[in-house]
Amino acid sequence: MMSFFIYFFIIVAGIVALIFIIGLLLPNERTATSECYYNASPEKVYNALTNNADYGYRSDLEEIVIIEENDGIEVWDEIAKNGSVIRFRTAHKKPYSLYEFDIVRGNGFTGHWKGELKATSTGGTHFTSTETIRMKNPFLKVLSRLFFNLEKFMHTYQNDLRVKLSEDIA
């Protein structure tokens, strides 16, 4: 009976060591980019993107708490429906064409988000968002690749924004 526990312990320790080694070999950054088109002007898209007080359309959020606001630069916490809290800070705004913010404190990660808006010939908006997350913990690097799908989060946000923009037009 004792040998079973020894073998079990050796197998578990081996798996943990393997995950740790894989995590050490993975890069500290992950980046995802997503593009979409909205049937709304860059001004309307930009105003929706930068208005943290109006978050009700976000299907993944419970609440946004604005911690600080100074001359258009905000610090805010996004509280997800699962209870996790991520803190953000405005990095750069260029009305109707660019919005950037930093991920100041996440659940073991930091990062940066950039949204670029370009008018289309039909009066709509071509929207490109790029998110980069950084983490040092080898275990988190492995877990993030298994359970944190950046592209899915980006598509959810873009689809929520599409619904918001269509409601504003109606």
Q: For residue range 97-134, what is the model confidence (pLDDT) as tens digits?
A: 999 999 998 888 999 999 999 999 999 999 999 999 99
For 72, left (φ over 0), alpha (ψ -120 to 50), or beta? left
Q: Picking from 2-11, 36-45, 105-114, which range would have the lowest pLDDT averaged per residue? A: 2-11
Structural element, H or E, at residue 65? strand 61-70
Q: Are 28 and 141 in contact (CB under 8 A)?
A: yes
Confidence band for 16, pLDDT divided at 50, 70 and 90: confident
Confidence band for 168, pLDDT divided at 50, 70 and 90: low
Chain segment 126-160, per-residue pLDDT in tens: 999 999 999 998 988 888 888 878 889 899 999 99
What is d(CA 153, CA 146) in angstroms, rounded to the nearest whole number?
A: 14
Q: Which two tokens stand for residue 117?
A: 């808006």
Q: Which two tokens stand for residue 137?
A: 């913990």
**What is the pTM assigned to this prediction?**
0.85
